[in-house]
Amino acid sequence: MAITGVTRPGHAQLRVLDLEQSVEFYKNVMGLVETGRDAQGRVYFKTWDERDHNSLVLRQADQAGIDHFAFKVLDRATLERLDSDLRAYGVATERRPAGDMLGTGERVRFEIPTGHIIELFAEKEFVVGRDRLVNPTPWTPQSEHGIAPLRMDHALLYGPDIDGNVKLFTEVLGFTMPEYVEHDDDGSKIAVWLTCSNKAHDIAFARFPEPGKLHHVSYLLESWEKVLRAGDICSMHDVKLDIGPTRHGITRGTTIYAFDPSGNRFETFCGGYQCYPDWEPIRWPLSELGAGLDYPQRKLHESFLTVVT
Amino acid sequence: MAITGVTRPGHAQLRVLDLEQSVEFYKNVMGLVETGRDAQGRVYFKTWDERDHNSLVLRQADQAGIDHFAFKVLDRATLERLDSDLRAYGVATERRPAGDMLGTGERVRFEIPTGHIIELFAEKEFVVGRDRLVNPTPWTPQSEHGIAPLRMDHALLYGPDIDGNVKLFTEVLGFTMPEYVEHDDDGSKIAVWLTCSNKAHDIAFARFPEPGKLHHVSYLLESWEKVLRAGDICSMHDVKLDIGPTRHGITRGTTIYAFDPSGNRFETFCGGYQCYPDWEPIRWPLSELGAGLDYPQRKLHESFLTVVT
Amino acid sequence: MAITGVTRPGHAQLRVLDLEQSVEFYKNVMGLVETGRDAQGRVYFKTWDERDHNSLVLRQADQAGIDHFAFKVLDRATLERLDSDLRAYGVATERRPAGDMLGTGERVRFEIPTGHIIELFAEKEFVVGRDRLVNPTPWTPQSEHGIAPLRMDHALLYGPDIDGNVKLFTEVLGFTMPEYVEHDDDGSKIAVWLTCSNKAHDIAFARFPEPGKLHHVSYLLESWEKVLRAGDICSMHDVKLDIGPTRHGITRGTTIYAFDPSGNRFETFCGGYQCYPDWEPIRWPLSELGAGLDYPQRKLHESFLTVVT
Amino acid sequence: MAITGVTRPGHAQLRVLDLEQSVEFYKNVMGLVETGRDAQGRVYFKTWDERDHNSLVLRQADQAGIDHFAFKVLDRATLERLDSDLRAYGVATERRPAGDMLGTGERVRFEIPTGHIIELFAEKEFVVGRDRLVNPTPWTPQSEHGIAPLRMDHALLYGPDIDGNVKLFTEVLGFTMPEYVEHDDDGSKIAVWLTCSNKAHDIAFARFPEPGKLHHVSYLLESWEKVLRAGDICSMHDVKLDIGPTRHGITRGTTIYAFDPSGNRFETFCGGYQCYPDWEPIRWPLSELGAGLDYPQRKLHESFLTVVT
C-alpha cells in the first residue's frame, strides 16, 4: 500500500476557559459541527466535510492550551507495530481504552521531546451520510455556516527539543520534513515542518524555552477568497486577528492567524504545495523568516514568536 | 514510512503528429520547460515547479495517443519488490535500462488489462535550482509563461477491462479507489479513480471497447482563476476546447478539457479533495454521470464519452 | 453634476407561468428579498445589497417574457425634461401614477423601436437599514442565501429595429455605446451594448425578427468564484443552465446563463470594465461573435441566438 | 448625456528622488508602460489597459510628493464652463497650454482648500491600438508584466480644510460623497470619499495639519487574487509594504498599501461597490475607523494616519 503507517491528524484536545462560550465560538464562528459530549463534560466537533466522528475536543480548564494531538494510523496492526517501535526506540507509551473518547478506539499515548502528548489510534467512527457517498454535491449548506473549514489540518507546537522530535517523527513514525528554519550561524534548527502524507505539513514544531506549548491548530479552506471571508467573519464576531490575511513563504499557503475566546491561536489557511518523501527539504535561514512567515510584508511579527498557550 | 511503494505519476510519453508544432504548443501555450532531446528525437518537458527532470515526453508518430504512463516508486528496493509482486501476480514485466530515457533510471514496464503500458522507475534526476530550495519565492516568472501548471497530475485512460486494472492497481500496486461510476442496473463499473497518495486521483480508467486509448493527461493549477486564465490562453492560441471551464462533481475539482495540436486531450484543473485509504469510495450511478462530469450544467458531454486518441 | 439624466436600471417586470413557484425560485435559488405584494398580485423583490424598494417584479401570466424595463432618473425635473425630449423626438409617452407600483413614484412609459416598453421614474422608496449606512459590514448573512447577487444590473432585449433603439437611447436618453457586433459584409449592427454610467452595459439589444422579446435579465456577483457558486446552486436546485461558467469576450465579464422556472433566461455575471463616454466603441465582426460570447470556447451557442421569451 | 462634467481621474504628477530608479520601479514592478519623456525630463506612463496617453507623470525633485492631480472633463465646452464656475465660486484659476504635457490639451489649474493643485483638461491623446478596439482579447501579455493594474483609479490627499474641499467638489465640480468618517463627539469630518462617476471614489481627502500632502495614488486590479500577486511581486522586489493584503470596510475594496522608492505611498486594490448620486452617504464614526481601514484586523494602523509625502 502506498499510504501506510500514520495517515493523518486525528484530533486535537484543547483546554478552554469557558466551555459554553468556546462551544458557541467553534460552532458559529468557526462553523464546526458538534458531534457529542461525554461524561467528563468534553465537547466534540468535526468539520462539515470530515468523515471521522471528531477532530476537535474541548475541555474546560483553568489554563488554555493543548492536552494532546492525535494521529489516525492505518489499522490495528499498524497501531501495535508503532507502539512496539516507540518502546524499542525508548519512548514510554500508555494506552487509553476504546470509548474513553467518543467514537474513538484504543489510543497509544506518549510524550515527545518538546513535552507534548501525542496519541495514535486506529479507529474512529465514520459519521458521513449516504448523501455524501452517493453522487454528492460539492458542498452543502453547512459549508457556509461560519468559517466552515474543510478539515482540521495540522498543528504547530512550541517546545525546547525539536531536534528530538524530528528524530522521533522521521525515524519511528515515518514522517518526512519538507521545510525547516535554521540559524544562519550554527545551522541549528529553529522550526520544522513534518508530513506523513503529500501535504506540506501534518505537524510542525518550533523551538521555545517552555515545553508543551500550543502555537496554533490549523483549519483548511478552499481558496484565498475563503481566507478573506474567514477574516470578515472574525471581524463580524470581534474575534482578535493576530496576522493576515497574507501568504506564507513557507509552504506558500495563504493564511490568517487569530485567537479563540481562551487565547488559543488558530489558523485558517489555504493552499501549500503537495510534496514527496524523496524531496530535499527547503531551508529558510532565520534571517529570512520574515518572508517565510508573511511573504508580502517580509515581516517577522513579534507575536508569532512569543504568544502561545 | 507513511508514504511508500508507488509515490506519484512520473511521466507520460505521448505520440504527436508534428513534433515541432507540438513542442511549440507545450512550451508556449502549456508553458512547460523543455529539459532535453534524446537520440531517438524525443523531446522532454517538466513544469516550472516540478523537481524531476521530466514529466512529459513527446515522440513523433503517424498516430496520436499515449505510449506509456509511468510512476515513480520510493526507491530501488521498492522497484525490485513491485517487479517481483507483479510477476507473482501473473503480469509479464520487462526492463528498460537507465539512460534509455533522459535523466531516468531503470524502468519496469508491463501491460495492464485495458491494454496500456505502465512503467515504474525509482530514479529520476532532480533539476531543481538552489533558489527553489533556499528561501524560495512562491512563484517565478516562468510560472506566468503560458498556462504554466504546477505539475503533471494524472491521466485518464480508456480501455475494455477496467475491473482487471482496479484489481491490479489495488492488490499489487497499493492504490485505493476514492470514486467510481457504476451502471444503475447491474452495478458494473464504468469508470474508476485510483490514488497512491492523498490526491483524489493519480490515475483513472473508463471502460471503452478499444484498448490502450488516451482520454487525457491532466495538469494542476493553483486556483479557479487560473483555470479561467488557461481557457483565455487556449482561446488566444486557437486551441480547441472540449469542455469547461466548469466543476466536476467527481473529485469536486474545477476543469477545462482541450486538445493539443495532435488531438491528444489535456486537462487543466484545480482542486479536488485530499483523501485517505480507509475511506469508503464515493459512488456515482451512471444516470448521474452528467453531474459528475459537469456539475453546474449536469451535462454528459458526448465528446467526453467518445473522443480519445 | 457629473452623473445626470438616466442613472441606472430600476426594475424589470417579468411574466411568469406559476407565481408561487417563481417566488420560491427568486427567493431561495436567486436569493432575492421579497419586499411586497400589491393588489394586482404582483410580487416585488430586491437584492440584499440594493437600496431601492424593488428591482424585480413578477406577474403571473400565460406567457413568459418581460412587461417592461425601467430606469431611475436623477430627479423629478429630469423626468419631466426627458418626457418632453421624448415627445419632441416623436415618441409617444404615457404616465403611470405614483403608487401604481409599490414604493415607486410616477412613471413615464413608451415603446421603443424594438417593440419593448421602457419606463422612467424619479422616485423609489429607499429600504436600506441604519446598519448598512453606519459602519456597515461588507456583507451580511443574506448575502449567502442562494445566489444572492449584488444588484439587478442590466437586460438584453431582442427585437427588429435595434438601430432605432441606438438612436433613441444615445440622442435622447444620453446613453453611449461601448461595444457592438456588426455584419462583416455590410457593417449593419447585430447587437449593441449601451450604458448610462461607467458600467460596460446598462442595457443591450440584439436584432431579432420578433419584437418585444427578452433574452435575459442580468445580476451582478462579486467574483468569478461566486459565478461558480451560482452554477453549483443552480445544479443543486435542478435549474437548467444555458451557457457557462465562462468569460465573455464582449465586456470581458464572467458569466452563467440559466433559465427561471418559466423559461425566462437570467445571467449571473461578474466583472466587465468601466468605461467613459469619450471612448471609441469596441467592434466585433459577426464572424468573431463566438469569442465575444464565450471567449474560452470561441463558440456561438445556438441557444443564445434563438431562445427568448 | 448621463455622464457629464468631470468624467475621471486623468493623471497624477509625482515628485521622485531618483528618476531612473523610479522609472525602473514603475515599469517593472508596477508594470506600467512608458509613453514618453518631455523636454523638462518628465517621464510619462499609462497602464496596459488605459486608452489615454498617460496617467502618471514623474518629475525628479529633492522631496517626494504630488505636484498635482488632474481630471479629464467631457469636452472643451465643459472645461470652459467649469473654469467659469470655479472663478464665480471664488477660486483663482490658471491655464497651462496644450502640449505643456505630452499628449495633453490645455489645462485649467487651481488650488483647493487643502493646499493641493487640481487640474482639469478636456483632451488627451488616445494611444489604444486597433487590436484593442476590434474583437480584443480580454488581456494581453503586458497585463502580466509586473503588478500591471487596469488603471490609475484615485488618490487620497491629506490637508487641513477638507470641508472646503467637499464644498468645492460637490457644489462646483459635481462630485458626490459616498462615505465619510466623522468625530464621534462633534460630527466634524475626518475623511471624505468623493466620486464623479459610479465608482466608490475618484478622489478622497483626510484632515491633516500640513497642506498639500499625498497619502497614496491608487491602482485598480481585477481580483483579490491579483492583490495577493501584487504583494508577492512587492516582496520579490523588496518593496516595502505598509498595510495588507486586507479588505477595507470603507468601500469594501481589497487592498495593499506600499511605498515607491521615493516613499510615495501607492495602493493596489480591487473591488468597491458602484454607487449613485441619490444615495445617502455611509458614515463611519472615528471610533470605528479601524474596521473602515482594515476590516479583518479592525486595526487603525498608525502609519496610515501619519506617513505622507
Nearest chain A CA: its distance from D160 CA (Å): 31
Whether residue B236 and residue D137 make contact (CB cut-off 8 A), yes or no, is: yes
Q: Give the percent of chain B with pLDDT over 70.
A: 100
**For strand D6-16 and strand D56-60, is the pairing parallel, antiparallel, or unpaired?**
parallel
Q: Per-residue pLDDT tens for B281-304?
A: 999 999 999 999 999 999 999 999
Residue C180 annotated in active site: no
pLDDT at B191 (0 to 100): 98
Cα distance between residue C156 and residue C218, in whole Å:
8
Question: Do the domain assignments include residue C1?
Answer: no
> Does B68 qualify as catalytic in the annotation?
no
Q: How confident is the model at residue C58 (pLDDT cuts 50, 70, 90)?
A: very high
- Per residue in A34-76, pLDDT tens? 999 999 999 999 999 999 999 999 999 999 999 999 999 999 9
pLDDT tens column, D12-44: 999 999 999 999 999 999 999 999 999 999 999
B-chain residue closest to C241, CA distance: B297
B partners (3+ CB pairs within 8 A) are: A, C, D
Per the CB < 8 A criterion, the answer to whether D212 and D205 are in contact is no
Distance from chain centroid for Cα D124 = 17
Shared-domain flag, residues D295 and D164: yes
Q: Does B3 score more than 90 pLDDT? A: no
- Residues B155, B133, single domain; the answer is no
Coil, helix or strand for C95? strand
Report yes or no on A169 lying in a domain.
yes
Picking from D276, D296, D7, B193, the residue whose alpha carbon sits closest to that of residue C151 is D276
Active site residue D201: yes
The span from the CA of D274 to the CA of C195, in Å, is 14
Chain D nearest-CA residue for C289: D135
In a domain, B120, yes or no: yes
Average pLDDT over residues B35-63: 98
Are residue B51 and residue B83 in the same domain, yes or no? yes
Q: Would residue C267 show up in a list of annotated catalytic residues for this protein?
A: yes
Interface contact A198-B198, CB threshold 8 A: yes
Which structural domain range is residue B218 located in? 147-306
Q: Residue A114 falls within a domain, yes or no?
A: yes
Q: Is D267 a catalytic residue?
A: yes
HSE-CB of B185 using CA atoms within 13 angstroms: 0
- The number of distinct structural domains making up chain C is 2
Secondary structure, 3-state, chain A: CCECCEEEEEEEEEEECCHHHHHHHHHHHCCCEEEEECCCCCEEEECCCCCECCCEEEEECCCCEEEEEEEEECCHHHHHHHHHHHHHHCCCCEEECCCCCCCECCEEEEECCCCCEEEEECCECECCCHHHCECCCCCCHHHHCCCCCCEEEEEEEEECCHHHHHHHHHHCCCCEEEEEEECCCCCCEEEEEEECCCECCCEEEEECCCCCEEEEEEEECCCHHHHHHHHHHHHHCCCCEEEEEEECCCCCCEEEEEECCCCCEEEEEECCCECCCCCCCEEEEHHHHHHHHCCCCCCCCHHHHHCCC
Measured distance CA(A208)–CA(A211) in Å, rounded: 7
Boundary residue ending a domain (D75, D109, D142)? D142
Residues C153 and C302 in one domain: yes
Q: In this structure, is residue A1 part of a structural domain? A: no
User: Residue C89 belongs to a domain with what CATH number?
Assistant: 3.10.180.10
Spot the catalytic one: B11, B116, B215, B248.
Answer: B248
When CB atoms are compared, the residue of C139, C232, C236 closest to A232 is C139
The residues, ordered by sequence, that sit 6+ positions from D266 with a Cβ below 8 Å of its Cβ are D30, D216, D217, D218, D219, D257, D258, D259, D260
| Pair C116, C188 in one domain | no
Whether the CB-CB separation of B159 and B213 falls below 8 Å is answered with yes
Active site residue A295: no
Q: Return d(Cα B155, Cα B118) in angstroms, integer.
A: 12
Q: Which residues of A97-107 are buried (b: 16+ CB within 10 A; e: fewer)?
A: eeeebbbbbbb
Give the residue from A28, A27, A45 showing the smallest Cα distance to A36.
A45
pLDDT score, position C1:
61
A26 in the same domain as A174:
no
Q: Where are the beta strands (DSSP E) in B173-233?
A: 176-182, 189-195, 203-207, 213-220
C-beta atoms surrounding A281 within 10 Å: 14
DSSP D237: T
Helix, strand, coil percent content, chain B, rounded in steps of 5: 20, 35, 40
Each residue's pLDDT tens digit, C212-247: 999 999 999 999 999 999 999 999 999 999 999 999
B133 and B154 inside one domain: no
> Comparing A2-6, C123-127, C288-292, which segment has the lowest mean pLDDT?
A2-6
CB contact residues (below 8 A), chain C span 110-169, against chain D: 126, 128, 132-138, 150
B89-123 residue pLDDT tens: 999 999 999 999 999 999 999 999 999 999 999 99
Chain D CB contacts of A291 under 8 Å are 235
B257-289 exposure pattern, b = at least 16 Cβ within 10 A, e = fewer = bbbbbbbbbbbbbbbbbbbbbbbeebbbbbebb
| D155 strand-pairing partners | D217
The residue from D53, D68, D154, D215 that is catalytic is: D154
Grid cell at residue B17: 503528429
Boundary of a domain, candidates B74, B104, B137 = B137
CA distance D98 to D114: 27
Domain boundary among D90, D110, D142: D142
In a domain, B169, yes or no: yes
Neighbours of chain C (3+ CB pairs under 8 A): A, B, D
Q: Are residues A62 and A117 in the same domain?
A: yes
* SS3 state at B5: coil
Phi, psi of C172 (to 5 degrees): -105, -45
Q: Does residue B156 register a pLDDT over 70? A: yes
Mean pLDDT, all residues of chain C: 97
CA B206, B212, B215, B216 dihedral sign is: positive
Q: How confident is the model at residue D2 (pLDDT cuts 50, 70, 90)?
A: confident
Average pLDDT, integer, range D129-134: 95
User: Which residues of chain C have a CB within 8 Å of the CB of D3?
Assistant: 2-4, 174, 176, 196-198, 276-277
Q: C 209-248 residues with CB below 8 A of B?
A: 224-225, 228, 231-232, 234-235, 238, 241, 244-247
CA-based nearest distance B214→chain C, Å = 22
The answer as to whether B95 is a domain residue is yes
Residues C19 and C136 in one domain: yes
- Rounded to a whole number of angstroms, the distance from the CA of A47 to the nearest CA of chain C is 19
pLDDT of A2 reads 77
Same domain, C108 and C38: yes
Domain for residue D1, yes or no? no
The helix (run of H) or strand (run of E) holding residue D130 is none
Subunit contact A298:D246, Cβ cutoff 8 A? no
B148-157 mean pLDDT: 98
B193 and B268 co-located in one domain? yes
Render each residue's pLDDT in chain A as its tens digit; 309 residues: 678 899 999 999 999 999 999 999 999 999 999 999 999 999 999 999 999 999 999 999 999 999 999 999 999 999 999 999 999 999 999 999 999 999 999 999 999 999 999 999 999 999 999 999 999 999 999 999 999 999 999 999 999 999 999 999 999 999 999 999 999 999 999 999 999 999 999 999 999 999 999 999 999 999 999 999 999 999 999 999 999 999 999 999 999 999 999 999 999 999 989 999 999 999 999 999 999 999 999 999 999 999 999
> What is the tens place of the pLDDT at every residue in D206-256?
999 999 999 999 999 999 999 999 999 999 999 999 999 999 999 999 999
- Facing C296 at nearest CB: one of B234, B296, B299: B234
Instruction: Identify whether residues C62 and C110 lie together within a single domain.
Output: yes
Which of A138, A232, A236 comes nearest C232 by C-beta? A138
B245 preceded by a cis bond (ω within 30 of 0):
yes
pLDDT digits (tens, 9 = 90+) for A104-143: 999 999 999 999 999 999 999 999 999 999 999 999 999 9
Q: Would the CA dihedral through D72, D77, D83, D85 be positive or negative?
A: negative
